[in-house]
Amino acid sequence: MSTDNTFNITKVSSTRVENVNLDDPGFGERFSDHMLEVEYREGQWQKPSIKPFGTIEVTPALNTLHYGQSVFEGMKAYYADENTVNLFRPEKNHQRLVRSCKRMCIPPVSEDVFIDGITKLIKLDHQWVPQKEGNTLYIRPFVCAFDPIISARVSDSYRFFIITTPVGSYYNRPVKLTTSQKYARAVKGGVGAAKTAGNYAASLYPAQEAEEKGFDQVLWLDACEHKFVEEVGTMNIFFVIDGVLVTPELSGTILPGITRASVIQLAKHWGLPVKERRLTIDEVMEAGANGTLDEAFGAGTAAVIAPVEEIHHDGQSVRFDFEQRGPVGQKLHDQITDIQWGKAEDPFGWITPISVNS
């Protein structure tokens, strides 16, 4: 085991990367050689450890299993060249993790541990970063309660982990969306803006029902009136209506996506009209019917820019003729991914490069 001022590091004796096809890795199925773990006890976070990836032993009474006090993030690392791996806006992921922790009564992890931990993991496991265009190393930081007590209260102990996994495309074709008049993802005053496990667990059954009807995901509407568009189960949603890029405003029930913010900033930089506002599903369907809905796409870390093929609501559908992305979505996708992969200028300072051979 080696140590530095802030981390204990135990390296694997030999890598498993030769056993993984990085050109076709699936999504979240194989995990890199190392992981990070930090324990919170006695009112403070302890010294971080990087160790071989493996199982952890927990008690059946672990309170996070019963009461769901956990939050997570989703990030990617991008192969730039044999010496460099890029991170995309990692400080924004840390800021969102801190906000999620606050909402779930979890002590926040410091930015130093978050960024430095990811950096050290990437340096150790840089061979796991796929070189094939479109494939990346997915990074999953998460925090969970660790008290061995079945009691509905705030925990006294926590664990922070970072694991990584090589991934391919999340969606390999345009997606079909349907609304739900019966279920809701989030309510005002709830935890919709936090990236917490329960949000995703609650969305699985409606998503399963949507899949049984031939759709890929639910286009969530507001919980009170089932009238206003909010987001898709796995990403934020954008529409190009009469030449204007429109997305639902953040109101506490929508996850503030890092890719969402990047799309808005980039579009404004180009001079493309952008509006963040309340948007009814009836307006979307009417724009589709009268020809002013030019395109729709989702935006998220896993999907980047995912084109929408169909929007279904109340027995009616709007369909798009694009085999892949529309012109706005394609332009945004190309620019964002080129910045991420180091192929284009980064005018916003979004990229944090990691020198993997130093």
**CATH code of the domain covering residue 251:** 3.20.10.10
Do 95 and 191 lie in one domain? The reply is no
In a domain, 347, yes or no: no
Do 141 and 273 lie in one domain? The reply is no
In a domain, 348, yes or no: no
In a domain, 349, yes or no: no
Do 135 and 11 lie in one domain? The reply is yes
Do 119 and 223 lie in one domain? The reply is no
In a domain, 346, yes or no: no
Q: Which of 143, 167, 191 is the last residue of a domain?
A: 167
Running along the chain, 358 residues long, what does each successive block of 10 average in pLDDT? 78 96 95 98 97 97 96 98 97 98 98 97 98 96 97 97 95 92 94 95 95 97 97 96 98 96 98 98 97 96 94 96 88 97 97 93
Exposed / middle / buried, residue 200 (Cβ in 10 Å: 0-12, 13-18, 19+) = middle
Do 144 and 75 lie in one domain? The reply is yes
pLDDT of res. 1: 62
Residue range(s) defining the domain that contains residue 8: 2-167
Orientation angle between helical segments 90-103 and 258-270, nearest 10 degrees: 130
Do 147 and 183 lie in one domain? The reply is no
Do 34 and 80 lie in one domain? The reply is yes
Do 50 and 198 lie in one domain? The reply is no
Do 82 and 212 lie in one domain? The reply is no
Do 250 and 145 lie in one domain? The reply is no
Orientation angle between helical segments 327-340 and 258-270, nearest 10 degrees: 110
In a domain, 351, yes or no: no
Do 230 and 320 lie in one domain? The reply is yes
pLDDT of res. 170: 85
Q: Which of 167, 198, 213 is the last residue of a domain?
A: 167
Both tokens of 60, joined, read: 């059946």
Residue from 149, 164, 146 nearest 40 by CA? 146
Which residues contact residue 315 at a Cβ distance below 8 angstroms, ignoring those fewer than 6 apart? none
> How far does Cα 114 stand from its chain's mean position?
16
Backbone angles phi, psi at 127, to 5 degrees: -65, -15
- Domains of the chain: total: 2
